Chains A and B, each alone.
Chain A
Amino acid sequence: MNKPENRVDKIVSDLLKGRRLKLRGGDAEEKAAITTAARLAAARQGPQRMNPAFRKRLEQALESAPREPWMTRRVALVAGFGLAAGAVAGGVLGRATEAAHPAPAQRGGPINPKQGQWVDVAALSDLVEGQGKRVTAGGVGAYLFRRGEEVTAVTSICSHLPCELLWNTANGVLDCTCHPASFTAAGTSTNKAYPLPTLNKVYARVTAAGRVEVLGTA
């Protein structure tokens, strides 16, 4: 088994079975034979793309690691994000990179429209405890959650991809429609390993008449 032809054939057999390269020492020609064998084995299988599960793991790693702004304005433009957004993002990033990056869980501050006004969106009696209710207050979309006589609200837009969230009755969470991400009624990401930023809260109040109002826009 210690003959070069046996060593190389063991490696070739492993490669053809899709196994890892378990290499052993040898002379330069033997090493060259092994690297060539690896390339021929790859050529046999044609162009390869990442396995979906592996791609997902990488995606999660990329999403979670950079945290706060990790693009310059220039990259935002390259990404086709548009001049206006690039200009705003550029300003944001310039400032944000000066400060310490907050953890995702620290995000999720309330949405505070400049021309905000309280908008009647529902009766308290319409809300069921433990169930989210989608409402719209002008330009602000929100999910309402009732606890006793109090009501809390979070934005209806995912904190990662700007997509609408859907209330998942079975699991009691808000699911993103664009990617596999979910949030609790408090707006926190359910993924502990790769937590996404917390959803922005929305101001909500209950009037004396038992109506629920959300701070939205006209």
Chain B
Amino acid sequence: MNLDRPPDEQAVGSEETEKVLQLPAAARAADIALDELELVYAFIYARVGNRADAEDLTQQVAMKAIPRLREGSAASAIRGYLFATARSVLGGFWSTRLGLSEAELHEDLVMAAPQAPPSEARADTVQAILAQLSDNYRRVLELRFLHGYSLKEVAADMNSTVGAVKVMQLRALRAAAKVQVEL
């Protein structure tokens, strides 16, 4: 196709100007949403503890948020909406997988949107919670979760049996669930 006909300046001139200017705006909006979704991903990962579920849930949040982004909202509103959606999606996840009610998910559902990605403060919080447990409970959780020991290795370290460590692990997790405030 040879576009050699003279242009009709009056008809389309202003339209072209608009196109050029609107493209960067759309790109920036996608960047904003993507950066916010990084925070959402970290927020979700910190609760489900594995990448596959965190990715699925983050994608659900993104898909739900797109219509809101299309309507147009301020960046701060986008963050608020994304985290509200994230809490809802997480609530649905636990509800489906565990049969937990929203009342039992109180902490997840009321937590405010973080202003920054999780930092070392999270690890400190974990230590603070573990510090409230009895020596044996703290030891079993430290070895298992923070050092990645197998049950057998934990049993050897604690001079116990695999069966006993399993029971202790369950009791320690129950105890940690009761003392945790904001993990």
Contacts and interface: CB of A to CB of B under 8 A. Distances in A.
Interface of A: 4-6, 8-9, 12, 14-16, 18-21, 23, 25-26, 28-51, 54-55, 57-59, 61-63, 65-67, 69-72, 74-76, 78-81, 85, 88-89, 91-93, 107, 109-114, 116, 150-153, 157, 159-162, 200-206, 215
Question: In the complex, which range does the number of interface residues on chain B fall in?
Answer: 35 or more
Contact of A153 (B3, B23, B48, B52): B3
A21 B70 contact: no
A48 B7 contact: no
B75 A203 contact: no
Contact of A114 (B13, B25, B52): B13
A75 B20 CA distance: 17
Interface in B44-61: 45-55, 58-59
B155 interface: no
Contacts of A29: 174, 177
Contacts of B180: 36, 39
B16 interface: yes
Task: Describe B's contact surface by its main secondary structure.
Answer: helix
A48 B45 contact: yes
B3 A51 contact: no
B174 A47 contact: no
A185 B75 CA distance: 37
Contact of A200 (B16, B70, B99, B122): B16
Interface of B: 1-5, 7-9, 12-13, 15-34, 37-38, 41-42, 45-55, 58-59, 62-63, 66, 69-76, 78, 94, 97-100, 104, 117-119, 122-123, 125-126, 141, 144-146, 148, 151, 166-167, 169-170, 173-174, 176-178, 180, 183
B66 A34 contact: no
Given A38-B48, A40-B126, A78-B75, A69 B169 contact: no
A5 B169 contact: yes
B50 A39 contact: no
Contacts of A51: 51, 55
A150 B2 CA distance: 6
Nearest to A41: B49
B183 A43 contact: yes
A79 B27 CA distance: 10
A81 B28 contact: yes
Nearest to B177: A32
Nearest to B168: A5
Contacts of B21: 85, 88-89, 92
Nearest to B3: A203
A36 B176 contact: yes
15 contacts: A16-B145, A32-B173, A40-B126, A41-B50, A42-B46, A47-B119, A61-B62, A62-B69, A66-B69, A70-B26, A78-B74, A79-B31, A81-B25, A85-B24, A114-B13
Given A21-B48, A76-B25, A204 B62 contact: no
B75 to A, nearest CB: 5
Contact of B26 (A57, A66, A153): A66
Contact of B46 (A6, A31, A39): A39
Nearest to B105: A35
A33 B173 contact: yes
B177 to A, nearest CB: 4
Residue with the greatest number of chain A CB neighbours at <10 A, chosen from B26, B55, B69, B144? B26
B7 A151 contact: no
Given A39-B180, A69-B26, A204 B38 contact: no
